[in-house]
Structure 1
């Protein structure tokens, strides 16, 4: 055990909502991987920081989501009366088979490689229009004025949200991430989650009415048709999963674009290389995903006793949290300087989109959105500089890692 860890014996190895951790979690991950790769957190979860254990847990059928039982264990039997927890219990993200299989089967068609690739011209058009508006001003916030606009517009297109309703979504706050944190929510935070859930529900009921009267070629119409065939989808499942798709469809992509742009500007040699060789963008996106993942953690529950995971016994019902951001920098998988940004790195296979049956549905869409957004920005604004690349303002959440703002000028 090195001296630094010894000196910090009093400080917890994993304190994900501390400002130091949010600013830069990677040194803490290195300590965990070296000293306690299956760390037990103060509230009893196991924390997998290496790639081997994380990738196994994501793919192994002995692990599942077990959302309701897990929430009751953490908060007590009344937690499922809270509307936001009720809604989350219907998310396919929190479901196990057979419900997960049924729900995912209903939406997977909208995210096939072919359909997503066909969206590229529309994505290009949105990025160009956004830049046309902002270029004459000489400055912008890369998060709010650029990264946020694109995925929100794309998910509104996919869900059939009419143009005249979108202004509210462009202005909406990005405060939902706290619900996903591994640190238990306070009463006030649960109340806030319930309020946000009520607003979303009210809007989507309105959208459902509209699409029942005027069906479109969109995911909402498709799911409403599945709801009519009651065996496929209940009304609560429909509402919860549209809310999930809306949030998941933009949150993480905003962060991927923002974190990628920050990483490039903090590594001027890599920025110069990508400008000189724009064809490297596809591999560069994989490296951004690896280097500073928009999703840092995902959890599973042991559905049976696991005798040995990284040297620990995991009893049935216990939670294992997989630190994706840490696994992505594990020297066992990336022996060639994993802490360095290298856009020509070979064999980059980040765990940022999860794995197994819950592998992110929108992974390919997010990749294309980031590719078009970052590639176009570098081409059209080659002189762009960040106001303050050294101390940017991070959002105070850990699971969804992203910037609050990223001011730039040209």
Structure 2
């Protein structure tokens, strides 16, 4: 991050992340911030916003920014009415690599990388295709279906269960627990019940994976969970708590992100029929398909922001961020920076640098589940475009989640035509 002369701490761009129009379409407001106030103090969320590509990308590697944002929140809420539940949630989630800085992040992520290998992901390709076929088998010509609930939601949940080796009959339980946990991890909105519900779900998940991992120890194989159990690095090994937490993180992250990629992606394609037609015509071209998925991730991907805590004072664009303040790296704004992406507001599946997006982060915090999410989309979209000649939105406006962190819909009603 560069430095410039200090100016008065005044903000001229009004951007409310809670406003209905922002939740539906945050991009016009983010464009104003990116152009006029690239280092913006937001009074609503009481956090600094970085929106330019170079600043966001640098922020992922800046040691003055900490990913350890759960611990300060837990400490601040410990004596509050929900302190017990928040303390329990924080204690467990503190084992997630995504909420840690080096060297602890290095320990957790390094061992997870040994288990979550490209080979283990790639062998799922045929299995993903079978799951896709099963999900759409009973969709008749002219049917109205909720694509989110009938496809985008169950596909990644089933795939991640397959990857971890969890019995398919338990998938509904896993989805329910993941949804409850999302209320704590993905939203900053105050909900009197969300901490209790999330804590209850996490307790059930802990018990479930404790038993499941013990079974895997007795009968090991080639699953990701077996890799996590056996992974070592110069004598280092995941503790029992870290092992359970890592399984839950893989389940949670692998499910939520891919659901949003699939739903947001289809939504974008329906709204850009020329790109839908190009995708359909080139659905058997693996190189085209890979680039198309990268562009869908860039254009309206599953990640809005990557929150951080300022660990050390720094100055950028004439503004000074103080240690202890919150700062949000706006992935979604960086992905539409015209300094990097030509005509960034246009969906272009042939964009030559689509893979430069930062939807999955950058550097040491690059999302470990990115290859799996991409694989599922690379398999799913060509099959959907093969089986159905047309998709129509049932209603013009969709119901978007109000999360600050992720970008996704709560439903996506579409009509399908064979």
Do both proteins adopt the same fold according to a TM-score greater than 0.5, normalized to the shorter chain?
yes
**Counterpart selection for 2:408 from 397, 402, 407:** 402
Q: Which piece of structure 1 moves more, 397-406 or 185-194?
A: 185-194
Correspondences of 1:2-401 after superposition (within 5 Å) = 13-42=14-43, 43-67=45-69, 69-71=71-73, 74-75=76-77, 82-135=87-140, 138-169=143-174, 174-181=179-186, 183=188, 185-225=190-230, 232-278=237-283, 279=285, 280-306=288-314, 308-334=315-341, 336-348=342-354, 349-388=356-395, 390-401=396-407
The separation in 2 between residues aligned to 1:283 and 1:207, in whole angstroms, is 37
Following superposition, the deviation at residue 172 of structure 1 comes to 6.2
Residue pair 2:310, 2:326 contacting (<8 A) in 1 also: yes
Separation (CA, whole Å) in 2 of partners of 1:37 and 1:384? 38
C-alpha distance 95-122 of structure 1, shift in aligned 2 (>3 A): same
Q: Greater shift after overlay, 316-325 or 218-227?
A: 218-227
| 2:180–2:197 contact (8 Å) kept in structure 1 | no
**Is the Cα–Cα contact under 8 Å of residues 38 and 50 in structure 2 kept in the other structure?**
yes
CA shift for structure 1 position 129: 2.2
| Deviations 1:144-199 (CA, angstroms, capped at 9, x unpaired) | 11112221111101211023323433566735433235736455332232122222
Deviations 1:284-334 (A, max 9, x none): 11111111120110022333332x323322233333210111111111212
Contact 1:293 1:324 in 2 (8 A): no
Shift of 1:142: 1.2
CA distance in 2, matches of 1:208, 1:137: 45
Q: Compute the displacement of 1:135 (Å).
A: 4.5
3-state DSSP of counterpart to 2:405: coil
Write the distance in 1 (CA, Å) between the matches of 2:203 and 2:186: 20
Aligned residues between the structures:
398
CA separation of 1:172 and 1:63: change in aligned 2, threshold 3 A: closer
Deviation at 1:364, TM superposition (A): 1.5
Q: Which runs of 5+ in 1 are unaligned?
A: 1-8
Q: Deviations over 1:75-114 (max 9, x none)?
A: 4677586211111111111011121111112221333333
1:127 CA displacement? 1.3
In the alignment, the residues of structure 1 paired with residue 156 and residue 209 of structure 2 have an alpha-carbon distance, to the nearest angstrom, of 18
For 1:365 and 1:252, locate their aligned partners in 2 and report how far apart those are by CA, in whole Å: 10
Query: Aligned Cα RMSD in Å?
Result: 2.8
Task: Give me the TM-score of the superposition, normalised by structure 2.
Answer: 0.86
Q: 1:11 to 1:174 in 2, by over 3 A?
A: farther
CA contact (8 A) 2:304 2:330 kept: yes
Q: Secondary structure at the match of 1:300?
A: strand
Bigger mean CA deviation after superposition, 39-48 or 207-216: 207-216
Relative distance call for 1:344 and 1:99 in structure 2 (3 A) is same
Closer, same or farther: CA 369–208 of 1 in aligned 2, 3 Å: same
1:177·1:397 contact (CA, 8 Å) conserved in 2? no
Shift of 1:392: 1.6
- Inter-partner Cα distance in structure 1 for 2:337 and 2:20: 23
Contact 2:50 2:330 in 1 (8 A): yes
Return the alpha-carbon distance in structure 2 between the equivalents of residues 178 and 144 of structure 1. Answer: 18
Q: How far apart in 1 are the matches of 2:225 and 2:91?
A: 21
SS in 1 for 2:155: helix
| Deviation for aligned residue 1:387 | 1.8
3-state SS of the aligned residue for 2:137?
helix
TM-score normalised to structure 1 length: 0.88
